Structure 1
Amino acid sequence: MTNYYTGRDGRASWRPDMPWRAAEALGIDRFKPPTREQLARLYEAKRADNGEEWSAHQRKISAYDLTLAPHKSVTLAAEFAETDAERAAIWHAMQVANDETMRYVARELGLARRGRGGKDGAEEGHVAWVTYRHTTARPTVEALDPESNQTYLIDTPAGGDPHAHFHNTMFNMVVTDDGHVGSLDTKQLRSRVHEFGAYFQAILAQELRKIGIAQTYDANEQATVISAVPQEISEFFSKGRRNVLKAAQSYASEQGLQWEGLSIERKQKMLSMAGLAARLGKDLDADDHDIWKRQAKELGWVDQSLMGPEIDTGLDRHQRLDQAWRFVARHLGQEFETAAVIDHQKLRTYAARGLIATGIEGGISDIDAVVELTEKRGIEVRGQKVQLIIEMKGERERVTHTEQIRLEEDLAIHIARAASDRSGALGKEAIEDAIARSGLDFTSEHGQAQRKAVHTWRVLKTPWF
């Protein structure tokens, strides 16, 4: 684990505002950089200083990895920056976005669960994480072993693509003010990971505007893109691993072999050969960064500063929130074209994405405000104004809209009317004969209810949520 994160270009750093209680519970010296030995202990759910368990409660999972990455254009703007100062400024923007996002994650996940599986509730506490800043996509390729049906990640000698990203491993430990040590509320992580990613993009866009870098949305309106970086160059530096895999598959085909049927050992050898071939000639002993710069020049990259005066969106808070609401309303309208019900969490994700372009000066409170506006104003679905309806299902909030409820109520009326008309209805014997010939199993509780409905013409009503 530690080798994966610190290999090649990785370097580790503690959470910049590490709470002393979290550091004390994990045996961390927050004023010194982490060592490989300390990290190895922490990933075994042991204290960094003496190797003792964090608490009496054994943990199957010691940490969770939240990886945050900008669009490829931001990576390339930093990689090919005209000066070291500009490169540092762009990296600083990425680092600020990463740290702010992780503080948000810490706020939402930092609830110490009490009792087995959190059955006794949760209490606010302090958490810790370590960040690894990487500049390169690892030159790994997924390969399936046909014998074991296991998928392996295989390293190749090919140079990786430029790819700025941050691995944030948050330790599965929360310590409260009274010293109680619990585990993270990981349900929040699973359900809100897209929102956290969108928040990272919104903060990054804001930081880049501060240094005068013009931006736009990507094709899916999920990330901020630096306008001055040509799309074709971004695409070129996104396919290194795919090229190695294609070369290995072509080599196997030339030998009369089927790639899918090869053992994992043979696949590894061919991938190594393909990766090495990709670096033959003038690139064999060259540094990755030198190779990238040469390739960019060949593609027409022009050395120029992308920075300028701070960019003002020209929007006051009311205008920012209104524009973000319109973004949310448009995307929710598209969601409801094919879905009757969605998770409420999507409102927060779209709100954060809408704030990428407008600015997110208010931080998390801006997301809250845009969601509140959406719930208050409603949206349009298929050209019709509707209000959102929110209900709890278990521990999840689910969302539908007034038009969907109207449609379902109308459908129920039509079904009930049709069920009351018994003209031409099959008799009991005919129905039983059809059931027997169907081969379907009606012995379960649901099956018995269906069977009863068939005979009584009763409609089984399913709640919309």
Structure 2
Amino acid sequence: MMTFRKISAESSGRLITAYFTQELPDPEHDFRTQPGKVPDADGGRLTSYYTGRDGRASWRPDMQPKIAAALGIDPRTPPKNAQLNRLFEAKRADNGEDWSRNARKISAYDLTMAPHKSVTLAAEFAPTEAERAAIWHAIDRANDATMLYVAQEIGFARRGHGGEDGADPGEVAWVSFRHDTARPTVEARDAGTGQTYLIDTPAGGDPHAHIHNALFNVVVTDEGHVGSLDTKRLRSRVHEFGAYFQAQLADELRRIGIAQQYDANEQATVISAVPQDISDFFSKGRRNVIRAAKEYAAAEGADWAHMPIERKRRILSMAGLAARLDKDKGTSDHEIWREQARRLGWEQKSLLGTPAAPVGTREQRYDIAYRFAARHLAREFETAAVIDHDKLRTYAARGLIGTGIEGGVKDIDHVVSLIEQRGLELGGERVSLVQE
């Protein structure tokens, strides 16, 4: 799935960076200079880019010179916290100057890609580090393929107020952050500025693999014009992009021989070997620390609602940590999860197998995906006379989760074309779609 949030340029860049990096310090070396050590699906080696991403910020892998120059980024070196602090305030990474003459209210959009819980658990409980890395490699590649698609679709520099003078295609940039845990996250408002922040507390969480992609709100055209993103395209197509991520992930898992199927809602790929009750157990969410934080503040004679954000952050950290230490006696999340799995009687064996070929011929796959999409669209028309064209693309992409999406975006285009040509079956009758 994919979700997105806006990041305000008036926010504290340091707090935004702390959330994304989980307060990790700057890397001591560039992981991309280290050789890959994990075999990939073809028996070779994973690139150092993928084997080294764990827990570190990483620039868009194919960052172009013009956008890098506009943002003051050197894509040959890993992101530093001070650079990220500036970028999240719509400033250049190198000198803190504005990106352009036009001020930005939004500095970036947080596009988060998340696989089904079963994929998270397959990686977390993998019997070897090599298998864990191979599954994360699949998630990373699906994430990057999806972000390239997003960039292609919304990478247009708006001209004039709100884009009233049109938009020109250009280059965009993002920075990605891997997270493997869903911690209790609190929305805290800064009484001084009115800005609301997400604060990741140190209380124990559940396993949850996901990648945050901070897509900067800047586009540089071939002529050198610097504009802001055309985000109208983003809002209307979030579900399609999420479905594209799932289809890409399904293909990546097939390449390493992991058996899979649709989830109950037919919106995501699920690793078949992970029992549903295990997925349910590790999806429960375990603590709410905001009550403890407010009680701590009251005991100190302070009013939570009127506290500055830095003090709230410190209290949330202490309250969450106190709750965690009292219950778990200092053990790590990963140790807790393994003990819980042991008590449940679940031990994961290796899931890697022979790479699986896509289903049937290309035309057969298109036909299967068309029938999937047509079935779901017919349900939409049971309660609506008109639906957005974007839903055709969403259901086409979801249909390709089960068949394979080797042709990428062109496969979605082809399935949509079949829907438009063949129409749907409604109430036992074949009907055509009319575009307005």
For Structure 1 versus Structure 2, the TM-score category normalised by the shorter chain is 0.7 to 0.9
1:212 to 236, 257, 260: 257
2:167 to 119, 122, 127: 122
* Count of residue pairs the alignment pairs up: 374
The residue that corresponds to 2:19 in the other structure is 4
Quick check: which one's helix share is greater? 1
Q: Residue by residue, what CA displacement relative to the aligned partner does 1:87-143 show, whole Å, maximum 9, x if unpaired? A: 010000000000000000000111111111111111111110000111111222569
SS of equivalent residue, structure 1 residue 162:
strand
Q: Is the 8 A contact 2:289 2:316 kept in 1?
A: no
The residue that corresponds to 1:397 in the other structure is none
User: Quick check: 1:86 aligned with 2:131?
Assistant: yes
What TM-score do the two structures reach when normalised by structure 2? 0.80
TM-superposed CA distance for 1:156, in Å, is 4.8
2:89 to 44, 58, 61: 44
Q: Is the 8 A contact 2:289 2:319 kept in 1?
A: no
Q: Structure 1 CA distance, aligned partners of 2:331 and 2:375?
A: 48
What TM-score do the two structures reach when normalised by structure 1? 0.75
The residue that corresponds to 2:9 in the other structure is none
TM-superposed CA distance for 1:77, in Å, is 0.3
The residue that corresponds to 1:184 in the other structure is 229
| Unpaired segments ≥5 residues, structure 1 | 145-149, 253-261, 392-465
Q: Structure 1 CA distance, aligned partners of 2:198 and 2:165?
A: 40
SS of equivalent residue, structure 2 residue 70:
helix
Q: Structure 2 CA distance, aligned partners of 1:289 and 1:79?
A: 8
Q: Is the 8 A contact 1:248 1:271 kept in 2?
A: no
User: Quick check: 1:165 aligned with 2:224?
Assistant: no
Amino acid at match of 1:322: D
TM-superposed CA distance for 1:277, in Å, is 4.9
2:381 to 336, 339, 363: 336
Greater relative contact order (CA < 8 Å, ≥ 6 in sequence): 2
User: Quick check: 1:365 aligned with 2:410?
Assistant: yes
Q: Is the 8 A contact 1:136 1:162 kept in 2?
A: yes
Between structure 1 and structure 2, the one with the greater Rg is 1
2:354 to 309, 312, 317: 309
Q: Structure 1 CA distance, aligned partners of 2:362 and 2:226?
A: 40
Amino acid at match of 1:301: W
The residue that corresponds to 1:138 in the other structure is 183
The residue that corresponds to 2:287 in the other structure is 244
Amino acid at match of 1:27: G
Moved segments of 4+, more than 6 Å:
246-249, 262-265, 267-275
| Unpaired segments ≥5 residues, structure 2 | 1-15, 25-54, 190-194, 296-302, 307-311
Q: Structure 2 CA distance, aligned partners of 1:21 and 1:271?
A: 40
TM-superposed CA distance for 1:276, in Å, is 4.7
1:288 to 333, 341, 348: 333
Q: 1:84 to 1:271 in 2, by over 3 A?
A: closer
Amino acid at match of 1:369: H
TM-superposed CA distance for 1:152, in Å, is 8.2
Q: Structure 2 CA distance, aligned partners of 1:193 and 1:114?
A: 23
SS of equivalent residue, structure 1 residue 354:
helix
Q: Structure 1 CA distance, aligned partners of 2:435 and 2:114?
A: 32
SS of equivalent residue, structure 1 residue 390:
coil
Amino acid at match of 1:343: D
Q: 1:300 to 1:8 in 2, by over 3 A?
A: farther
Q: Is the 8 A contact 2:184 2:289 kept in 1?
A: no
Q: Is the 8 A contact 1:245 1:271 kept in 2?
A: no
Q: Structure 2 CA distance, aligned partners of 1:116 and 1:105?
A: 23
Q: Structure 1 CA distance, aligned partners of 2:290 and 2:214?
A: 34
Alignment of 1:5-44 (within 5 A): 5-7=20-22, 10-44=55-89
Amino acid at match of 1:244: R
SS of equivalent residue, structure 1 residue 203:
helix
Q: Structure 2 CA distance, aligned partners of 1:335 and 1:279?
A: 49
Give me the identity figure in percent: 67
TM-superposed CA distance for 1:23, in Å, is 0.4
Amino acid at match of 2:420: E
